[in-house]
Amino acid sequence: MAGLKYMSGFGNEFASEDPRCPGSLPEGQNNPQVCPYGLYAEQLSGSAFTCPRSTNKRSWLYRILPSVRHKPFTPMSCGDLTENWNEVEPDPNQLRWKPFIIPKSSEKKVDFISGLHTVCGAGDSKSRNGIAIHMYTCNTSMTDKCFQNADGDFLIVPQQGEILITTEFGKMMVEPNEICVIQQGMRFSVDVFGETRGYILEVFGAHFELPDLGPIGANGMANPRDFQTPVAWYEDRTVATGYTVVNKYQGKLFSCQQDFSPFNVVAWHGNYTPYKYNLENFMVINCVAFDHADPSIFTVLTAKSTRPGVAIADFVIFPPRWGVADHTFRPPYYHRNCMSEFMGLIKGHYEAKEGFQPGGASLHSIMTPHGPDVDCFEKNSTAVLKPERVAEGTMAFMFESSFSMAVTKWGLDTCHRLDKSYYKCWEALKNHFNPNWKPSSK
């Protein structure tokens, strides 16, 4: 969207005020007796007050009316949004979904909230430990309605259709091949411009961070300067017919009414903000000698657990890059993992197997075998190894988690997109064992 501005950086102490109200950001203190322009001061805390300074997250919002002025919350239908991980029996099989169906606007108007569908997850928002993976499929903008997730952070991956997200901090336009993060408690509304689809990774009890670089050094992978945070924007709008605030709380949806827009923040400062990132800016690290490096080298963001090196969830991408490894089977290796691997495809053609389509997904659960299909194995076992571009025009990604994820009834049945023939892509793998093999002379 032309004219939108952003501030650069990850986790910075930002400060912004709408240029229509110069001087609206208080100087020298957070909570003056009387705020400039007669605004209310409201703090949004994303961490406990006593967290170490390096992990302490909060922002101060200076708004026309405070968030507390609303009618009581009442339960509403959750649709296909759920945190019930026991509604169907566990399924350890390799799972793959065809592209999830986007409802036609001519048949039914579906906005971002009513278009949320939970595919899988684990843990519990009440205990602040776990994740959920959702799809959103919608065709209509949210009108006089906003969403607040009291349970955790949303990492949103648009796949089809750009989305204009209005937040209390300002506006963000997020296109396919970009991602955005709306952190816990931040109110937002989504405008769409046609049939729209995407993926959401929700984490409970942690926030996303940049992964440590270790021996890579000070630069590389997702660089902090490439993350963008919106600038202050407000509307002073009375909604006599009622403005709806939808609150996701303990896995359920609730709604309340108020008579004003929640996007009435004239100025704000702090380090607890929404942000977006263009995946094309990822500086790829890859093998330049031999063997296939582990996919952790492609981690964009991580939500850490209390165990060192073990993530609640990692967001990993498989971007266009050079493949140059010598005497190496270059595609992803055959694997059994102590982590769960949920994959999606934004665009293009995934390198390791046929049949994985943009807008679809796959789940390889903990210790479930997976890897290249037979065509990929045969082709790359005999390929002439020379430098070549890999995944050109493609962007696949993975949500990897230490949780053993349960698939919902919608994911296994109601969506009608589960590819029940997925296992067949490995059935034709041959036995190449030769007990008389001898090493070739060099």
128, 403 in Cβ contact below 8 A?
no
Facing residues of 171 across strands?
166
Q: How distant, in Å, are the alpha carbons of 5, 16, 32, 233 from that of 62? A: 19, 10, 11, 11
101, 65 in Cβ contact below 8 A?
no
Distance between CA atoms of 245 and 185, rounded to whole angstroms? 12
Phi, psi of 412 (to 5 degrees): -90, -25
Which of 397, 392, 381 lies closest to 330, judged by CA? 381
Could you confirm whether 70 is annotated as catalytic? no
Residues 6+ apart with CB under 8 A from 201: 131, 133, 154, 155, 157, 313, 315, 399
4, 172 in Cβ contact below 8 A?
yes
Amino acid at 123: G
- 341: annotated binding-site residue? yes
Which tokens is 326 given? Answer: 């010598």
**111-148 b/e with 16+ CB inside 10 Å = b?**
bbbbbbbbbbbbbbbeeebbbbbbbbbbbbbbeebbbb
Residues 6+ apart with CB under 8 A from 318: 295, 298, 350, 351, 391, 394, 395, 396, 397, 398
Which tokens is 252 given? Answer: 């359920």
- 249: annotated binding-site residue? no
What is the widest separation between alpha-carbon atoms in the chain? 87
- 335: annotated binding-site residue? yes
Kindly name the residue from 292, 327, 349, 432 that is annotated as catalytic.
292
133, 119 in Cβ contact below 8 A?
yes
Which tokens is 67 given? Answer: 């968030």
9: left (phi > 0), else alpha (psi -120 to 50), else beta?
left
Binding residues: 335, 341, 350, 370
Residues with a known catalytic role: 292
Binding residues for Fe cation: 335, 341, 370
Binding residues for homogentisate: 350, 370
